[in-house]
Amino acid sequence: MYVLVCPCILDPTLRARGITTDKDLDLFSRVKTRCEMFSIEMVALPCPETIYAGRDREPGYFLGRLDNPEFSAVMVRIEQQTRKIIEDRGPPLCIIGVDSSPTCGVNRTWYGSVDGGDARREGRGVFLARFPEIKAFDVADFARYRVYLAAPLFSEAEKSYNIQIRDLLSSHFCDVYLPQEIGDDTHARSRDEHQRIYERHVEALAKADFVIAVVDGADADSGTAWEMGYAVARGIPVIALRTDFRMAGLQERVNLMLEQSAYVITDKNSLPEAIRSPRRSPSPGDR
């Protein structure tokens, strides 16, 4: 199991001069951590800009700098090299690119202005665009894999369901914090233990990339509702899972404030799509 990665994720010195920020380095580190955690091999793509212009180069657009026959020949050559990797290894999970790159952007690139228009262009960079059949993620999206699972945990059925959700997310390369696994599953607790559990939960919430909240029942569990509110206040995306068919109102599946602050899904099997999982169906050629 492997991913093809923009080479500057592994070696930031390949990037154009002066564009790498501390945030970039943090994202690159988190991508590597996720891959290490789930035994995903990282295979570097060739860097067309470095091959063509060298390491010590100024940043710039595709137009006026790279739109020439010499650079096109470089891309043809390294596309062939990359397709040989895919032929030998089987299809990768995905490609991990870096948005804004003229060659390796995923969602947008600095393409250059045409007739005075916006220099940014939606879509893949000119090199990644050569692999439309392979799912691609920007580094910032792939780096988001830490999940806090907010859910009631008071009965055997609830705890068993939470483990099902945890295992599903883990199979999609998510690191899941499950409160019931750190002692929050019994009424026989001292005051000191209450404080310890509270601090652990808040620390995990603050580090989460997503909060997934189970909001089944006549009303959402109060602790789950608090965790959702905390996440929203910190700008952490919340995905609410409600499989309960009962409605809280004419237009509401659950409490209005919770529903309006979350992306609501009604089937746990929709979770991988909601978190933009890189996982695909296994292929016989994978190894």
Last residue of a domain, one of 108, 126, 142: 142
Q: What pLDDT is stored for residue 287 in this prediction?
A: 37
What CA–CA distance (Å, rounded) separates 262 from 255? 11
Specify the residue for token string 């999206």: 141
Q: Are 165 and 187 in contact (CB under 8 A)?
A: no
Domain membership flag for residue 198: yes
CA 9/CA 199 separation, integer angstroms: 33
181 has pLDDT over 60 = yes
Q: At what angle do helices 191-207 and 222-233 cross, to 10 degrees?
A: 40
From 107, 176, 179, 178, select the one nearest 136 (Cα to Cα): 107
Residue 282 lies in a domain: no
Lookup: tokens for 62: 């595709």
- Is the CB of residue 136 less than 8 Å from the CB of residue 125? no
Q: Could you tell me whether strands 2-5 and 108-110 are parallel, antiparallel, or unpaired per DSSP bridges?
A: unpaired
Share of the chain above pLDDT 90, in %: 72
Whether 105 and 157 map to the same domain: the answer is no
227, part of any domain: yes
Q: 């592994």: which residue's tokens?
A: 10
Write out pLDDT tens, residues 206-236: 999 999 999 988 788 899 999 999 999 999 9
| Same domain assignment for residues 223 and 97 | no
Indicate if 119 and 160 belong to the same structural domain: no
- 128: Cβ–Cβ under 8 A, 6 or more apart, which residues? 95, 97, 103, 104, 105, 106, 136
CATH number at residue 204: 3.40.50.450
Mean pLDDT of 44-55: 94
Residue 254, pLDDT > 90, answer: no
Residue 116 or 264, more confident: 264
pLDDT in tens, 189-214: 667 788 888 899 999 999 999 999 99
Model confidence band, residue 155 (pLDDT cutoffs 50, 70, 90)? confident
Write out the residue range of the structural domain in which residue 15 sits.
2-142
Number of domains comprising the chain: 2
Q: How many CB atoms lie within 10 A of CB 22?
A: 7
Q: How far apart are CA 25 and CA 31, in angstroms?
A: 10
Q: Do 248 and 173 lie in a common domain? A: yes
Q: 132 — phi, psi (to 5°)?
A: -65, -20
Does residue 283 register a pLDDT over 50?
no
Domain end marker among 93, 108, 142: 142
